[in-house]
Structure 1
C-alpha cells in the first residue's frame, strides 16, 4: 500500500514538473522568431534545459501512465531528447519543433487529462 501511495505522489509531482517546465518554455519563447530564438544564447540555453527536463520527466513516467495518457507522444519526446543532445543543426530543428508544436500539444493534453482523470494529478495518498 505504501508503494502505491509513493507512486501516486511521484506521478503527480512528475506531471506538475512537466507542466511547469512547459509553461516556462512558452513564456520564455513567446513572440520570438526562429532565428532570433536560435541566436539567443541565454534563451536558447534555458529552453534546452527545460525541454530536457520535460523529456526526462516524461521518460520517467511508468507504463501505466503511458497507457492512460497515450497522446503525450512518449516516442516523440524520446526522439526529441536524443536530437537535442546531437549535432547543432539537428538540435536546432528539434528545439524549434518542440517549442512550436510538441510543448503546446503536451500542455493541451495534460489539461485534458487533468479534467478527465484528475486523480492522476492529486498530491494526496489514496
Structure 2
C-alpha cells in the first residue's frame, strides 16, 4: 500500500547505500514495537545498518549470527544474516543482499529471540 496522509516518511536510500526493507509483516510489526519503546536506540541501529551493514562500528551490538542462523533465505536468495542489539533484550536480525544492495529485516522485537535461548 502506498504511503498516504499522516503516514511516516522513511528516509530514502543514500547514493551507493543499501535499501532497507522488511522481509515479513512480523518483522515490520516488531520494528514498530521497537520504535514505540526505544526510538532513540532504534534510530542508532538504523543508522549503523544503513551506513554499512557488513562492517560493525559497535562490535558489542552489531555482529554476524553463527551456526544455523548465519544465513537466511529471502526471495529465494541465501544471504548472510546479522544481528543488531537495539536494547538489552531488543534485537534486529537482517539478511544482506550484496548484489541487489538490499538489507532485509527478518526479525525485530523488544524481546530476545527465543530461537537463540
Q: TM-score, normalised by structure 1?
A: 0.24
More helix by share: 1
Q: Which has the larger radius of gyration?
A: 1
